């Protein structure tokens, strides 16, 4: 599986934008970039995914570099509820049933 | 919004006993998964299930583990003879028919083996 690299932790002030980086220099052409998050004492939660173009949904935006070797999850206005571990995960769509495999992620702390 | 429901939220069992963890996936989903997370560690894949059979399993998912979808709605994980090291949060997940779709996870069952 292609690997991702994320910072272990980040801090953000409440109501400010947060940019969570992810490096995936060995990404293949059929890998989708997925983001999940895990709030304290809860199960993981799907956030967003993309292939080449930037994506927006109600939770976040995903900015993908032109060479696809890195991506950034953007939370436009961090709230205390956004404090969680954020996981950047590659999934090969050609693999059919390929499972989601979690790494250690980035622990985001939101400061009031 | 549709949810994946897991019961019980917390189960305490004695070493060597059998436990069954239950999950009700989202009704029109086709793919089902079990993951576990030992306290302070990563979320680990256990097994995936599609079309009434296991499609993939990890090394953790040995002969002590089994999964079943007995009635078209429930999805269960059975551990035949629990060990202390089976103590963890167990998460069920499901997804629809889009290959690249996101998973929906339940809130987990905390299993404590004493």
pLDDT at B73: 86
Nearest to A44 among B43, B56, B100 (CB): B43
- The CA angle B101-B20-A97, to the nearest 5 degrees, is 25
Residue B81 has pLDDT above 80, yes or no: yes
Distance (Å, whole) CA A27 – CA A2: 6
Q: Chain B residues with CB inside 8 Å of A32's CB?
A: 100
A1 at the B interface (CB within 8 A)? no
Distance (Å, whole) CA A43 – CA A53: 28
pLDDT digits 0-9 by tens, B17-70: 999 999 999 998 989 999 999 999 999 999 999 989 999 999 999 999 999 998
Assign A95 a pLDDT band (cuts: 50, 70, 90): low
Residues sharing a CB contact under 8 Å with residue B3, sequence separation 6 or more, in sequence order: B26, B104, B106
In 3D space, the residue among A11, A13, A21 whose CA is nearest the CA of residue A78 turns out to be: A13
B48 neighbors B54 (Cβ within 8 angstroms):
yes
Interface contact A93-B102, CB threshold 8 A: no
Assign A96 a pLDDT band (cuts: 50, 70, 90): low
């Amino acid at each position: 599986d292609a690997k991702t690299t994320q910072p272990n932790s980040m801090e953000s002030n409440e109501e400010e934008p947060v940019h969570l980086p992810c490096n995936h220099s060995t990404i293949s052409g059929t890998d989708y970039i997925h983001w999940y998050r895990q709030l304290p004492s809860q199960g993981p939660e799907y956030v967003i995914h993309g292939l080449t173009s930037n994506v927006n949904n109600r939770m976040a935006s995903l900015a993908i570099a032109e060479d696809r070797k890195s991506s950034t999850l953007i939370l436009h206005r961090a709230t205390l509820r956004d404090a969680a571990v954020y996981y950047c995960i590659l999934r090969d769509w050609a693999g059919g049933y390929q499972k989601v495999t979690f790494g250690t992620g980035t622990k985001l702390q939101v400061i009031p | 919004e549709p949810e994946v429901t897991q019961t019980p939220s917390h189960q305490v069992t004695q070493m060597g006993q059998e436990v069954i963890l239950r999950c009700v996936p989202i009704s029109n989903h086709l793919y089902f998964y079990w993951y576990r997370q030992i306290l302070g560690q990563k979320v680990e894949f256990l097994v995936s299930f599609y079309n009434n059979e296991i499609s993939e399993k990890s090394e953790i998912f040995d002969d002590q583990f089994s999964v079943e979808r007995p009635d078209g709605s429930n999805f269960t994980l059975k551990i035949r003879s629990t060990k202390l090291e089976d103590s963890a949060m167990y998460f069920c997940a499901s997804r629809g028919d889009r290959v690249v779709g996101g998973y929906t996870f339940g809130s987990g069952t905390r299993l404590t083996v004493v």
